[in-house]
Every structure is written in C-alpha cells, then in structure tokens.
Amino acid sequence: MKSVRARAYASIANLGYGFDVFAVCVHCGFDEVDVSLRPSGSRLEVEGEAGRAIPGSIGRNTAGVAAARLMRDLGVECPIGIRVHKGVSTGGGLGSSAASAAAAVVAVNRMFGLGLTRRRLVPYAAHGETASAGASHADNVAAALFGGFVVVEKRDPTRVLHLKPRGALRFAIAAPKVSLTTQAARRALPRTVAIEEYSQGCARSAMIVAAIASGDLRALGRALEGSVTDRARAGLVPGFAEVCDSARRAGAAGATLSGAGPSVMAVVDASRVPPQRVAAAMGDAFRRVGLDAETRIARIAGGARVIEAR
C-alpha cells in the first residue's frame, strides 16, 4: 500500500461534569490525513483555511506526534509523508487537534497493517495532544476514533465506554471571535475540590450518561450545567452566562462550554425545538456583549475511518 487517507470528525469534550473523561463526536467539520511512503526523510504538510496557524513539522503537529509514536512502538522504520487537510477550526473547543491525531493513527494503522483496535489506538492519538495542549488527554481523541459518546478512563485510556446517543439530539454551537488556548483554560481550574463538589459531580456525571443512553434530552441538558470547570472558566468567555440564558429561553434543554471553550454549546431536542432558533439566540447574546460569533448546528457523527487506500 502506497498511501492511505483517513477522516475524523470534530468533538465536544467534558460535557459539563465529565472533565477529561466525557466527549461526543459531532458533524461540525472534519480533518483528513494522508499518509504516504517516501523514499527518504519523513515530512508533514498542512492544508486548508483552518490550518494556517497549525505547526507544519512532525515533531510539533498532533498528527505527526501521534503517528511517530505509533510507528516507533510498533517497530515501523519507514520514512513517510503526512498531509493534514484541516477542516476543524482551531481554538474553538471542538477537538481540532484530536481530529488530526485520530485520523493520523487510523491511516498509519491501515498503511502498515498493524491490526490495532480502536481502543489500542486511543493512547497514541492522545499522545499527539501533547503537541497542542502540552499534555496527553484522551477524551476528544476517543470520541473522534469511536464516534458517538464516550467515557474514557484517565489512567487507562484503552478502557472506553462507547454509547450511541438516542433521540433527536442536536447541539447548537456559538463560537465567539475571542482567543482562548487549552493551556489557558486549564490554568483557570482549581487544583482541588471540596468533598461536596466531588459528590455533586459524581451524581451529575451518572445522570449525563443515563440521559444519553435513554435519550432523555431534557435530563441531559439539566445535568451538564453548573460544573466546577464551567464556573472556573466562565470569566474567560465574555457573556457566557447571558449566552446560556438565551439558549434556554429559546428552547434549549441546557447549555455549557464546548470543551475548554470559548465556544458555548446547547443541547437541543430537535423533535421539539428548531436548533437554528437556539443558535441564533446564542449568537445574538454574544453580539450584545460586543463579540461576533459564528453559529452552527451539529448532529452526532461516526468514528474515524479510512476513506481511500491504494
């Protein structure tokens, strides 16, 4: 096989109380990664409007870092070319770096016939996140690899619970034009939490998983609001409370940060409420505090896959 192209979709991590362990894969852009054989000297290129600020070297790009670790650990010694086609916007809390890393490991796995399962690919894709976030975290990459909703263990990222959300679930997303890096968002978090906060988080986390499994979207919206991470990061996103209030008034079941932010996402039952109405209300709320915001509607997406091999 001379080249393989794989595709992976955007994702929303945390979902309120599921910090670093919950994520859902969504149709909100995708990245494609081409891996090909080279006669000598591995190299990486980035293409696409969303990739202008993305590092173009293997050692600094999430796709390159993930692919290199996978090949090293599996004993593959072969120069390759990696071409990253960026379709997921960066810095918006939609798992942009994870999409690249997930697509890269899926492509390398097929290219060299490594035969690794999605579970075994998770740690390699998570390692790719060190290039952008400064640390390995598996929530977004697990969602991008599996599709649907995932719960992933921090200490053993190969242990993934995968669920296909039920009901007419849609996410209304408003992405304000404000800069917020993952590193900055993590620095805002408290290092410790009170036992009462821990207990509340356990209850809400269980409610989120149960609501997704049962299709109770009203319960899902209620359960994901008010997390310690949202409260800690709210000040980094101007108008956060107003945007969430506007989403609820427009019919959303609940609203929270999308990943580390600055995007805000709202849970919408599309069988009851037009998602476009909710998104428009969120965009208007951002504009009232002086920020332009791009709005979109996302549905659940499937996992990363090979779309071309030759």
Measured in whole angstroms, the distance separating CA 20 from the mean position of its chain's CA atoms is 10
Residue 179 dihedral angles phi and psi, to the nearest 5°:
-85, 130
Task: Round to whole Å and give the CA distance between 200 and 87.
Answer: 37
Q: Residue 205 has what pLDDT?
A: 97
Residue 210: partners with Cβ closer than 8 Å, 6 or more residues away: 216, 219
Residue 136 has pLDDT above 90, yes or no: no
- What residues have CB less than 8 Å from 276, skipping those under 6 apart? 172, 297
The residue annotated as part of the active site, out of 32, 47, 90, 182, is 182
CATH fold for domain 3-164: Ribosomal Protein S5; domain 2 (3.30.230)
Report pLDDT for 13.
Answer: 94
Q: Bridge-partner residues for 152, per DSSP?
A: 160
Task: Calculate the average pLDDT of the chain.
Answer: 94
The predicted-structure confidence for 256-297, as pLDDT tens digits, reads as follows: 999 888 999 999 999 999 999 999 999 999 999 999 999 999
**Integer Cα distance of 74 and 86 in angstroms:** 27
- What are the boundaries of each domain within the chain? 3-164, 169-298
- 271 Cβ neighbours under 8 A, 6+ residues apart: 167, 168
Beta strand pairing status for 43-47 and 80-85?
parallel
Residue 35, both tokens? 């891996």
Taking the C-alpha atoms of residue 72 and residue 77, their distance in angstroms, rounded to an integer, is 7
Distance (Å, whole) CA 114 – CA 67? 12
Residue 133 has pLDDT above 80, yes or no: no
pLDDT confidence of residue 137: 87
The pTM score is: 0.94
pLDDT digits (tens, 9 = 90+) for 185-239: 888 899 999 999 999 999 999 999 999 999 999 999 999 999 999 999 988 999 9
Active-site annotation holds for 77: no
CA distance 230 to 224: 10
Phi-psi region of 75 (alpha: psi -120 to 50; beta: other; left: phi over 0): left
3-state SS class at 5: strand
Which parts of the chain are beta strand (E)?
3-14, 18-37, 43-47, 80-85, 149-152, 160-163, 169-176, 254-257, 264-269, 293-298, 305-309
Q: Could you say which of 3.40.640.10, 3.90.1170.50, 3.30.70.890, 3.30.559.10 is the CATH number of the domain covering 169-298?
A: 3.30.70.890
Position 113 scores a pLDDT of 97
For residue 34, which of 84, 105, 96, 109 has the smallest C-alpha distance? 84
- Residue 181 pLDDT: 77
- At residue 246, does pLDDT exceed 90? yes
Name the one residue in this structure whose structure tokens are 């945007």. Answer: 243
What is the pLDDT at residue 65? 97
Catalytic residue among 32, 62, 129, 256: 129
Report pLDDT for 90.
82
Q: How far is CA 112 from CA 39, 51, 107, in A?
A: 16, 27, 9
Task: Examine the pLDDT at 132 and tell me if it is beyond 80.
Answer: no
Task: Please say if 242 is a catalytic residue.
Answer: no
pLDDT in tens, 38-96: 999 999 999 987 767 788 889 999 999 999 999 999 999 999 999 999 999 887 889 99
How do residues 144-192 score in pLDDT, each as one tens digit? 999 999 999 999 999 999 999 999 999 999 999 988 777 788 888 999 9
Written as six digits, the tokens of 138 are 């598996």
What is the structure's pLDDT at 159?
Answer: 96
- Residue 111's pLDDT is 97
